[in-house]
Amino acid sequence: MSEPVNQGVVVAKSRATYNEGYMPGFGNDFETEALPGALPVGQNSPQRCPYGLYAEQLSGTPFTAPRETNKRSWTYRMRPTVQHISGFERIELPLFRSAPTVGEDTLPLMPLRWDPAPIPGEALSFLSGMRTIATGGDVHTQTGYAIHTFAVTESMTDDYFYNADGEMLIMPEIGALRFFTEFGIVDIAPGEIAVMPRGVKYKVELRGAPQARGYICENYGQLLTCPERGPIGANCLANRRDFLTPVAAFERKDGTKCRLTVKWGGTFSQCEIEHSPLDVVAWHGNYAPYKYNLRHFSPVGPTLNDHADPSIFTVLTAPLGEPGTANIDFVIFPPRWLVSENSFRPPWYHMNVMSEFMGLIEGVYDAKPEGFVPGGMSIHNMMLPHGPDADAFYAASLSKLEPQKLDNTIAFMFETRFPQQLTKYAAELPTLQRGYPEVWKPLRNHFDPDRPEWNGE
Ligand SMILES: [Fe+2]
């Protein structure tokens, strides 16, 4: 308890326990050092770096990108990263795919939905447990994306990875994960996301549970950023202060056999090195991993009538050149109040130029009370109709409209301009609900030209 102050100067003390190990703010210019004095002051590349470290820049955008979108960080490390690659050999990760995957599935054209895939009993690392569901665009032109699910039953100990093809937005649904990265340690649990930038090396460990499962969006295009708020103003939705970037951390294990795997142009290469590549003692810049707790999202919605477009729940967006058109929008459907009067409150029926992949982290999604459960997924592709199932439609048409809290639910959507091309793996999953389109069959034609008022029956 501090003494009351009547006069004089009071200086804030840092809250050591508040988000310890992280620095707040989306895309800030951070600086952090794991040893005192490791970070050069006032310059990037001194003649001799403190502690004999090497200075190295990692650029996430072209050197000449506009100031607002320019992303780069300076690392001060035991070895330059040229020593982290040596004698690469091609390896196969046949279920970790890249765009394009056009023409692999022969399913009839239809909305698609899957039950959760059980976590296999075998040893699966973050890499060998990756299963690509759909892709769009083309990894070779750095446009588009891949959507994966993952199951992890084994930590990476002396194995490391970096993805040259895109940034990875990772969302566990079961189990907690630790990402030990070149830039520090990022821990996430269900309800949180982490973003691993293109080119950043890391390993993935299980934290406190024998297995983990979840969803990933690999974004080949422009970097994910916070969406514009327009008339909403300076606050709400995902606030920049709630994004957390780790403080510097490094590991030393010289003489230990380690492996580095690289994803590059949709191929995988691996090499052996005698040290950990996580050797960054200090860094500064605005290109680094970050995490975000989806429960900190501050939703905005209709306060009188109707159901707004789902874009009001956009957490992060990876824009394309065309205004308002995204390579990837990451959208969530968080706990919120429904209060609109005289309104059909669930999502309306619609067709869309964008394509939608949905998953569920916890709870129930209001347009699909059954058949769409945590760990499951659905794809409503470009210009294919969808909307509430028959049960949801009649329940919403007849219910007494009082303020209602949708609680304990986190559904999410990866929405994209590029149609979602299913992989052979996803098309052949035994968890595919082949009868999914039947959920709309019980919708009746209620039209009666002699009855302008419909009572919902
Ligand atoms: Fe939709």
Mean pLDDT of 414-420: 97
Q: Are residues 173 and 95 in the same domain?
A: yes
Proportion of the chain above pLDDT 90, given as a percent: 91
SS (H, E, C) 92-119: CCCCCCCCCCCCCCCCCCCCEEECCCCC
pLDDT of residue 326: 96
Tokens 């380690």, located at residue: 258
pLDDT of 2 higher than 60: no
| Cα–Cα distance measured from residue 380 to residue 417, given in angstroms and rounded to the nearest whole number | 12
The CA distance from 324 to 44, in Å, is 36
Whether residue 48 is contained in a domain is answered as no
Domain count, the chain: 2
Q: Which stretch of DSSP H or E encloses residue 321?
A: none
Ligand 1: centre distance to CA 95 (Å): 27
Say yes or no: 173 and 316 in one domain: no
**Is 1 a residue whose pLDDT tops 70?**
no
Shared-domain flag, residues 255 and 315? no
| Residue that is last in its domain, among 274, 294, 314 | 294
Whether residues 194 and 305 share a domain: the answer is: no
What is the predicted pLDDT for the residue at 386?
Answer: 95
Query: How far is ligand 1, taken at its centre, from the CA of residue 351, in Å?
Result: 7
Cα of 357 vs centre of ligand 1, distance in Å, is: 9
Separation CA 376–CA 397 (nearest Å): 27
**Cα 451 to ligand 1 centre (Å):** 31
pLDDT at 97 over 70: yes
Residue 457, domain member (yes or no): no
In a domain, 115, yes or no: yes
**Phi and psi, residue 430, nearest 5°:** -65, -15
Mean pLDDT of 352-366: 91
In a domain, 157, yes or no: yes
Q: Do 214 and 306 share a domain, yes or no?
A: no
User: What pLDDT does residue 455 have?
Assistant: 86
Confidence of residue 321 (pLDDT cuts 50, 70, 90): confident
**Residue 12's pLDDT is what?**
81
β partners of residue 268: 91, 263
Ligand 1 ion local residues (Cβ < 5 A): 356
* Token duo for residue 439: 């959920």
- Whether residue 368 has pLDDT greater than 90: no
Could you tell me the pLDDT band of residue 95, with boundaries at 50, 70 and 90? very high
Whether 73 is covered by a domain: the verdict is: no
- One domain for residues 267 and 396: no
Q: Which positions are catalytic?
A: 307
CATH number at residue 193: 2.60.120.10
Q: Is the pLDDT of residue 17 over 90?
A: no
pLDDT tens for 256-314 read 999 999 999 999 999 999 999 999 999 999 999 999 999 999 999 999 999 999 999 99
Looking at the structure, do residues 254 and 403 belong to the same domain, yes or no? Answer: no
State pLDDT tens for residues 189-231.
Answer: 999 999 999 999 999 999 999 999 999 999 999 999 999 999 9
Residues 131 and 206 in one domain: yes
Same domain? For 246 and 333 the reply is: no
pLDDT recorded at residue 350: 96
What separation in Å is there between the alpha carbon of 416 and the centre of ligand 1? 11
| Domain boundary residue, one of 269, 294, 319 | 294
The pLDDT mean for the chain works out to 95
Residue 92 has pLDDT above 80, yes or no: yes
How far is the C-alpha of 294 from the C-alpha of 244, rounded, in Å? 12
441: left (phi over 0), alpha (psi -120 to 50) or beta: alpha
Residue 3 clears pLDDT 70, i.e. is over it: no
Q: Are residues 130 and 264 in the same domain?
A: yes
Q: Which residue segment(s) compose the domain that 315 sits in?
A: 297-440
pLDDT-derived band at 4 (thresholds 50, 70, 90) equals low
Domain for residue 75, yes or no? no
The answer to whether residues 88 and 219 belong to one domain is yes
In one letter, which amino acid is 284? H
The answer to the question of residue 282 being in a domain is: yes
CA of 352 from ligand 1 middle (Å) equals: 7
Q: What are phi and psi of 30, to 5 degrees?
A: -90, 160
Which of residues 277, 294, 311 is at a domain's end?
Answer: 294
Residue 135 and residue 259 in one domain: yes
Q: Mean of the pLDDT values across residues 347-371?
A: 88
Cα 225 to averaged position of ligand 1 atoms, centre (Å): 22
In the chain, the amino acid numbered 193 is: I
Distance CA 297, CA 293 (A): 8
Q: Are 407 and 413 in contact (CB under 8 A)?
A: no
Q: What is the mean pLDDT of residues 316-325?
A: 94
Helix (H, G, I), strand (E, B) or coil at 224: coil
Residues 124-169 pLDDT 10s: 999 999 999 999 999 999 999 999 999 999 999 999 999 999 999 9
Report the alpha-carbon distance of residue 328 to residue 357 in Å, rounded. 10
Give the whole-angstrom CA distance, residue 394 versus residue 176.
Answer: 38
With respect to residue 246, please indicate whether it lies within any of the assigned structural domains.
yes
